[in-house]
Structure 1
Amino acid sequence: MKNIRLLPYNEAYRPSLESYYLPEAQAQYTRLPLQAVTQLGPAETGILIVHNTYPVGFFQLETENRFPNYSANSRAGLLKKFSIRVEEQGKGYAGDALCSLPAFAGKWFPELNEIVLGVNIRNESAQYVYVKAGFKDTGRRLMGPMGVQYIYSLPLK
Structure 2
Amino acid sequence: MPNSALTLSPITETNRGQFLSVSVTPDQIKFSGTVAEAYGSAEEGIDFHGIWLGDQPVGFFKIDRLYHTRYPFAGEHGLGLRAFMIDAGQQGQGLATQAVEALKTYIPQHYSDALVVVLTVNMSNPAAIRCYLKGGFEDTGETWPHGEAGPQHIMRMELATEPAKPTLRERFKPFFAWVRRNVPRGMRLFLGILLIIGGIFGFLPILGFWMIPLGVMVAAMDVRLYRRWRSRRNSRK
Same fold (TM over 0.5): yes
1:3 aligns with 2:1: no
- The structure richer in helix per residue is 2
Partner of residue 39, structure 2: 37
Structure 2 gap ranges (5+) = 162-237
CA contact (8 A) 2:8 2:52 kept: yes
Provide the C-alpha distance between the structure 2 equivalents of 1:105 and 1:86, rounded to a whole number of angstroms. 24
Partner of residue 154, structure 1: 157
> Scaled by the length of structure 1, what TM-score is found?
0.91
Q: List per-residue Cα deviations over 1:36-80 (Å, max 9, x = no partner).
A: 123253311111011111110001011122133332x20000101
Moved more, 87-96 or 60-69: 60-69
Q: List per-residue Cα deviations over 1:77-109 (Å, max 9, x = no partner).
A: 010101000000011211111111021111100
SS at match of 1:28: helix
Larger radius of gyration: 2
Partner of residue 56, structure 2: 54
1:66 aligns with 2:78: no
Moved more, 9-18 or 82-91: 9-18
**CA 1:61–1:81 in 2, change beyond 3 Å: closer, same or farther?**
same
CA shift, 1:130, in A, is 0.2
CA shift, 1:121, in A, is 0.2
Mapping of residues 7-156 of structure 1, within 5 Å: 7-39=9-41, 41-64=43-66, 65-71=68-74, 73-143=75-145, 144-156=147-159
Provide the C-alpha distance between the structure 1 equivalents of 2:42 and 2:80, rounded to a whole number of angstroms. 13
- The structure richer in strand per residue is 1
Provide the C-alpha distance between the structure 2 equivalents of 1:85 and 1:139, rounded to a whole number of angstroms. 29
> Scaled by the length of structure 2, what TM-score is found?
0.62
Moved over 4 A (4+): none
SS at match of 1:87: helix
Paired residues, what number?
156
CA contact (8 A) 1:138 1:153 kept: yes
**1:120 is matched by which residue type in structure 2?**
N
CA contact (8 A) 2:35 2:60 kept: yes
CA shift, 1:132, in A, is 0.3
Q: List per-residue Cα deviations over 1:104-124 (Å, max 9, x = no partner).
A: 111100110000000000000
Identical pairs, percent: 26
CA shift, 1:21, in A, is 2.5
Provide the C-alpha distance between the structure 2 equivalents of 1:40 and 1:53, rounded to a whole number of angstroms. 29
